Copies of this chain bind each other. A is one copy, B any other.
Amino acid sequence: MKPTIRDVAKMANVSISTVSRVMNSPESVVESKKQRVLGAIEELKYKPNALARGLISKKTHTLGVVIPDIRNAYYAEIIRGMEDASKKLGYSLIICNTDADRNRLFSYLNTFYEKQVDGLLYTSDAVFPDYYKELKRLRMPVVLVSTHSMEYELPSVKIDDEQAAYDATAFLIEAGHRSIGMISFDLSDSIAGQTRYQGYVRALREHNLEFSKDNVFFIQEYYHDPYVAAESLLRQAPNLTAVFASSDVLAMGLLSYLYEKGIQVPDEISVIGFDNIRVSSLTIPKLTTVAQPMYQIGYRAVEKLDARIGGEADPQLRELVPHEIIVRGSTRRLK
C-alpha cells in the first residue's frame, strides 16, 4: 500500500501540517523537525516527487501542452504562438500527443504533475466531467486552447466557432449560392462539430433557405480519409453548387475528389475551408477559407496561463479571438 502523509507524520512524530510545510516551504520548519520528516519520507518512500517539489524552487518555468493529434497541421501554428510567448515569458514548453485518448491524456497529466510543470495548456478536446475531476485533483493551473467549457469555470481562448461557420455559409449565400453542402465533424464533438454545424444551419435559416439533411456529411471517425468524405457527400448530394468544409484538410480532400471527377472549382462548385493552415495557399485553386488566428490563440493562451500562475485576476474567463474570411480562388459569385 502506498504510504500517506499521515504515515510520514506518524513516523516523524510531527503533525501533518509540518510534513506539508517541509515539502512546500522547508525554510519555515526548524532543522530538527525537518530532518526527521525528510528521514521518514525517505524511509517510507513517500510520494518522492512531492518531496522534490519542496526541495527545489516552486517554479519550474515549464508549461505542459496536451494536444489530441499532432499530425493535424492546425496545431503547428498554435504551437508556434505558444513557443514565442513562452520564450518571452521565460518558459519551456513540453508537448504531449494524447491521440484523443483518455488514458493517454491522464497518463500525461500525471507526468506533467510529476515533472512539476507550472501550468497546463489543454488543447482542442472537450472537458468531460472525469477530466475536470483529474485536473482539479492535480491542482494545476490550466488554460483551455481552441476549446472551452460552459460547465466549468475554466479559462479559455478560442474563436467563436458557431459564428465563424455562420459567416462561411453566409459568404456562400451572399455570393448567390442556394444549394450549399457541408462536411462536418461528428455532432458528438462539442467544440468543432456541433458548433460549426449549428452555424451552418442558422445561416441557412436566417436567409430563408431550406435545410436538407442530405446536404451534410458527418465524419464518423477521428482518423478519416478526406477524399472519401468528399466522395460520400457528393454521392448523397450531387447537385450542390458550394460546399463548406469544416477544415482545410477536408477541403483539400474535396478539391482532390472534384479534380479527379473532372468537376471544375470554382466554376461548377465553390469550396470554402476552415482554419487557414500553411498549405491552404498552395492548393489548386488556392483555398478560400475561414482563418483562425492560430498563432494568436497559442500566444494569448500562454499569456493567460502565465497571469493565472502569477495569481493575477483574469478579467475575461472565456476569451474569444476574431476569425476572418480569406477569399482566394476556390469560391466564385454565381451570376
- Interface on A for B, CB 8 Å cutoff? 26, 31, 34-35, 38-39, 42, 48-49, 51-52, 55-57, 60, 62, 70-73, 75-77, 79-80, 83, 87, 92-97, 99, 104, 107-108, 111, 114-115, 226-227, 249, 252-253, 255-256, 259, 278-279, 281-286
Contacts and interface: CB of A to CB of B under 8 A. Distances in A.
Q: How many copies does the complex hold?
A: 2
B39 A35 contact: yes
A151 to B, nearest CB: 28
A146 to B, nearest CB: 16
5 smallest CB-CB distances across A and B, nearest first, come from A52-B52, A48-B56, A71-B76, A94-B94, A95-B95
Main SS at interface, chain A: helix
Contacts of A80: 70-71, 97
Contacts of A51: 52, 55
Contacts of A94: 94-96, 111, 115
A226 B97 CA distance: 28
A286 B99 CA distance: 27
Given A70-B79, A92-B96, A252-B279, A111 B285 contact: no
Given A279-B279, A285-B259, A286-B256, A83 B97 contact: yes
Nearest to A80: B71
A93 B97 CA distance: 8
A79 B31 CA distance: 47
Nearest to A226: B282
A203 to B, nearest CB: 27
A256 B284 contact: yes
A73 B73 contact: yes
Nearest to A72: B76
Contacts of A256: 281-284, 286
B79 A92 contact: no
A225 B40 CA distance: 60
Contacts of A83: 97, 99
19 contacts: A35-B35, A48-B56, A51-B55, A52-B55, A71-B77, A71-B80, A71-B278, A72-B76, A92-B108, A94-B95, A94-B96, A94-B115, A95-B97, A115-B115, A249-B278, A252-B279, A252-B282, A255-B284, A259-B284
Nearest to A26: B42
Nearest to A84: B99
A62 B128 CA distance: 26
A62 to B, nearest CB: 6
Contacts of A93: 96-97
Contacts of A226: 282
Contacts of A87: 104
